[in-house]
Amino acid sequence: MSKSLQIPVGYKSALTLRETQHAIKYIKDVFQQALSFALTLDRVTAPLLVQKGNGINDDLNGVERKVEFTIKEIDCDAEIVQSLAKWKRMALYRYGYKVNEGIYTDMNAIRRDDDADNVHSIFVDQWDWEKVISREERTIDFLKETVASIVKAIAFAKRKVNLRYPQLATTICDVPFFITSQELEDMYPGVPAKERERLIVKEHKTVFIMQIGGKLKSGEKHDGRAPDYDDWSLNGDLLFWDEVLQDALEVSSMGIRVDAESLEKQLKECDAMDRAKYEYHSKILDGTLPLTIGGGIGQSRLCMLLLEKAHIGEVQVSVWPSEMTRECAENGIVLL
């Protein structure tokens, strides 16, 4: 068996292929309406590609290779987006959004260096969202309130799906447990970060791990974060317990975004002050861009969780290693 593939013992999808396709649409219809209502968001269109070298593409951990290509009639190279973390904040500024107003969009990306396993694909689809906030709302309490609203929307979608497909049996805990990455490391010293996540999520079912990006007391990071969108003291990951895989499943990464002070601090920490020359970064440093909160919610991962699937390829069409495709077929995991 491929070491990156998990085969749950006795797994069989509760839904047929056709039911699965219907259910995916139903989840997307129900959840995005619930999200829009909960956070006061307008749906907007968004780019699949951006100009190379303009600083607007997400650098993720700074090592992932972007998919890039030349354009016949334009004297520049283009890149497929890795996420819309920076583009959304610029859009709020350009469109004239005010405090407590925001946007969401369907984001499709290619991350060529991502793993291929039960929960990772090189094709990434998210609801990317961003909202203008006031200076007074740049707090942990406001972050927690926003997380709680998103969790309520996800739990609502799960209840609706279970009513339509009664063969689905799991539920979503709609009260998130909050913990910082340092508190989690202190709780499980010497345990790898992903295993710490599994242990805390197994206990509390719905968990938001806060303050991700900086180094912990151990000298290690809980996880990587680019220095130029989230404020590392005001961000986090939302995870749910996946009963099928018996593991923690990260569904969303989000946070209050950097202001001038935190951007400069984090760029210096990452030796990335050269990015200050880009329009996005300079407009944060001079206070032009609005203060915002935002994040991404994985569409395929949410569908996978709500439909009780064992592999993300059961709810999205992508490209997989041939050995993985074969092993899935042999074990009743039908990839789309």
Active site residue 253: yes
What's the number of CA atoms in the CB half-sphere (13 Å) around residue 134? 5
Residues in the chain: 336
CB 196 within 8 A of CB 249: no
CA angle 62, 195, 246 (to 5 degrees): 115
Catalytic residue, chosen from 253, 266, 300, 316, is: 253
Please confirm, yes or no, whether 117 is among the known catalytic residues: no
Asked about 111 being catalytic, the answer comes back as yes
Q: Which two tokens stand for residue 278?
A: 């880009």
Does residue 29 have an active-site annotation? Answer: no
Catalytic residue, chosen from 89, 111, 198, 225, is: 111
Element (H, E) at 294: strand 292-298
Neighbours of 241 (CB within 10 A): 22
Could you give the CA distance from residue 328 to residue 321 in angstroms, rounded to a whole number? 11
Catalytic residue among 79, 230, 231, 237: 237
**Which is catalytic among the residues 126, 233, 252, 316?**
126
Out of 6, 32, 36, 58, the active site residue is: 58
Catalytic residue among 250, 259, 308, 314: 250
**E strands, 27-172, where?**
41-43, 49-51, 68-71, 74-80, 102-110, 123-132
User: Would you tell me the crossing angle of helices 17-39 and 299-306 to the nearest 10 degrees?
Assistant: 120
Catalytic residues: 58, 111, 126, 237, 250, 253
